[in-house]
Amino acid sequence: MKYDIIVLGSGPGGYVTAIRASQLGFKTAIVEKENLGGVCLNWGCIPTKALLKSAQVFEYLKHADDYGLSVKDYDKDFDAVVKRSRNVADGMSKGVQFLMKKNKIDVIEGYGKLKAGKKIDVDGREYSADNIIIATGARSRELPSLPQDGKKVIGYREAMTLKNQPKKMIVVGSGAIGVEFAYFYNSMGTDVTIVEFLPNVVPVEDEDVSKQLERSFKKSGIKIMTSSEVTKVDTSGKGVKATVKTKKGEEVLEADIILSAVGIKSNIENIGLEDVGIVVDKDKILVNDFYQTNIPGYYAIGDVTPGQALAHVASAEGILCVEKLAGQHVEALDYGNIPGCTYCSPEIASVGLTEKQAKDKGLDIKVGKFPFSASGKASAAGTKDGFVKVIFDAKYGEWLGCHMIGAGVTDMIAEAVLGRKLETTGHEVLKTVHPHPTMSEAVMEAVADAYDEVIHL
C-alpha cells in the first residue's frame, strides 16, 4: 500500500506525529511491534505515575495523625498497586487505539524495517510512502559491569511488574527513573540504597535542587552513595551482592534486587538504517532542524535523535516535522527552553540555565529563592519541603532559568517555560498578580527575592 506518511513507532513521538499528519490531510499509517503508546504509555511515563500516586496515598495514611486524623488499620497490597498501574497503562493504550480510528490512521502491527526507495517491510509485507518518519524510541541502557538478567538485576520494565516486593533494593543511577523508583519502593517499605557515579543525585539539576532532594530522601530513610560506582555484581546466591567503589575504598552491598537506572539506549539497531544509508553518530540519527535525515524522504524524531530524551520533546518534534512537510511556516524547536520533570517526592521541575551554567557563561545574574516553608499553602498542605529558584540576567531582566523542588512543581513549571518563550522580564513576572494561597505564589516571591523586594521572607 502507498501512503503519504508512514510513522515507524507509536510512542508519544510517533502517535502524536501520525495524528497531526492526518489532521493536515496526509494519508497516514503507523507501524508498531508491541503496544500502541510505546514505552511512555505502557512502561514509562504513565504507569510509573500510577505507582507513585499509590505511594503518595500510602504516605498520607502513614502520616494521617499529622492532619488530625486517626487511621488505625491500613496496609498495602503490592500486587493490587502493580495491577492498578497496569490497568491505567492499558486504558491509555486503548485511548490511543481510539485516536487512531478517529483520525483514520492505519495501524500496521508487526516489526518494521526500513528499505531503500521510501519503503518499510513489516514482517514480510511491503509498504511505501512519500515520507517515512522514524520514531522507534529507546530502552534501558546496560553497563558491562551491570548486565541485566531480568530477575536479580532489572531495568525499569521489571521494576513496574515485580511479583513480590523486595525487602532490600539497590538503585544504580539517580536520574529521573532512578529517583522515582527509589521513592516508590521506599514508600512501600523497601530498604533502598541509591548509588550515583557523580557527586550529586539528579546531576542534571541545579546543585541546590540536588542537595534538597538528598536531604529529603535521607529524611525518608533512603541511603545515598554519591561519587560511587558499582564495579561488579554477584547473583549466585539467594540475593545479589554489589561491589561498590567509593572514595573511601570498596564496599559490598547486599540486596534482593538491583535496579539499573543508568540511562537509555536508542532503538536504532535492526531497523534498516544501514540498508538505506542513514547517517548515525554516537547512537543517534543525525537530522536537521526539521528532522530530515541525510536521505531525502526519511525523517527521525524523539529519543533516536540528539535532542533531550523526553516524551514532550518527541511530540513537539513530530508535530514540527509534519507541519514543515505540509508547507507551513514553522520555527525550529528551542532546546534551551525544554522543561524537565521528575515525579519523586518532593517533585522536581526545571527549565533553562542552572546557576552554575549561567556563571560559567560569564553572565551577570540575579538569583532569587523562596522556600515552601514560608508558603501558606504549603504549610496548610503539610508539604513544606523544597523551594523555587529563579535566575535572571542582571542587565536586561531576561529569565535565564527556573528550578523547583516541592509538591506539585511539575504542574507549576509551565509558567516559566511560557514566560521565557514570550521573553518575559523579571519585572513583568513580579508585577503579574499571583493567586493566594497557592504554591505558584512562590514563583513571584522568588522573583521578588532576586530583585530585593520579597515580602514573605
Q: Which pLDDT score, from 0 to 100, does residue 378 have?
A: 96
SS3 341: strand
Q: What is the mean pLDDT of the chain?
A: 96
Please report, to the nearest 10 degrees, the dihedral formed by the alpha carbons of residues 332, 333, 335, 337 taken in order.
120
Residue 137: partners with Cβ closer than 8 Å, 6 or more residues away: 9, 11, 13, 14, 38, 39, 266, 267, 302, 303, 304, 314
d(CA 312, CA 74): 37
Q: Which pLDDT score, from 0 to 100, does residue 172 have?
A: 97
Cβ(424)–Cβ(399) below 8 Å: yes
Binding residues for NAD(+) are 173-180, 196, 263
Please check the confidence at residue 6 and state whether its pLDDT lies above 90.
Answer: yes
Q: Which pLDDT score, from 0 to 100, does residue 177 have?
A: 95
d(CA 38, CA 28): 18
**Which amino acid is located at 180 in the chain?**
E
Cβ(157)–Cβ(181) below 8 Å: no
Q: Which pLDDT score, from 0 to 100, does residue 221 have?
A: 97
Residue 239 exposure: Cα atoms within 13 Å on the Cβ side: 15
Please check the confidence at residue 138 and state whether its pLDDT lies above 90.
Answer: yes
d(CA 286, CA 301): 10
Mean predicted confidence (pLDDT) in 185-195: 97
Continuous H helices in 9-143: 14-23, 38-43, 45-62, 78-102
Percentage of the chain surpassing pLDDT 90?
95
Angle between helices 45-62 and 176-188 (to 10 degrees): 40
Binding residues are 49, 112, 173-180, 196, 263, 303
Continuous H helices in 190-302: 207-219, 273-276
Fold of the domain spanning 346-450: Enolase-like; domain 1 (3.30.390)
Cβ(213)–Cβ(348) below 8 Å: yes
Locate 92 and state its grid cell: 491509555
Q: Tens digits of per-residue pLDDT, 264-296? A: 999 999 999 999 999 999 999 999 999 999 999
- List, edge to edge, every strand of the sheet that includes 240-246: 229-234, 240-246, 249-255
Cβ(108)–Cβ(5) below 8 Å: no
Q: Which pLDDT score, from 0 to 100, does residue 443 have?
A: 97
Q: Return the CATH superfamily for domain 2-140+265-335.
A: FAD/NAD(P)-binding domain (3.50.50.60)
Domain 153-262 has CATH 3.50.50.60: yes
Q: Tens digits of per-residue pLDDT, 385-425? A: 999 999 999 999 999 999 999 999 999 999 999 999 999 99
Cα–Cα separations (whole angstroms), residue 140 to 89, 146, 231, 263, 316: 19, 12, 19, 6, 23
Determine whether 286 is exposed, middle or buried from the number of CB atoms within 10 Å of its CB (0-12, 13-18, 19+): middle
Fold match, 153-262 / 346-450: no
Please check the confidence at residue 174 and state whether its pLDDT lies above 90.
Answer: yes
Cβ(344)–Cβ(52) below 8 Å: yes
SS3 425: strand
**Which amino acid is located at 220 in the chain?**
S
Domain positions in the chain: 2-140+265-335, 153-262, 346-450
| β-pairing verdict for 191-195 and 298-300 | unpaired
Please check the confidence at residue 456 and state whether its pLDDT lies above 90.
Answer: no
Q: Which pLDDT score, from 0 to 100, does residue 30 have?
A: 98
Neighbours of 28 (CB within 10 A): 27
Mean predicted confidence (pLDDT) in 108-131: 97
The CA R_g of the chain, rounded to the nearest whole Å, is 23
Cβ(179)–Cβ(213) below 8 Å: yes
Q: Tens digits of per-residue pLDDT, 349-366? A: 999 999 999 999 999 999
Binding residues for FAD are 49, 112, 303
| β-pairing verdict for 223-225 and 191-195 | parallel
Mean predicted confidence (pLDDT) in 369-390: 96
d(CA 206, CA 225): 19
Q: Tens digits of per-residue pLDDT, 36-78? A: 998 888 888 899 999 999 999 999 999 999 999 999 899 999 9
The residues annotated as belonging to the active site are 436
Q: What is 391-422 written as a DSSP string?
A: EEETTT-BEEEEEEEETTGGGTTHHHHHHHHT
Strands (E), 292-446: 298-300, 340-342, 347-352, 365-371, 387-393, 399-406
Q: Which pLDDT score, from 0 to 100, does residue 43 have?
A: 86
Q: Which pLDDT score, from 0 to 100, does residue 457 have?
A: 83
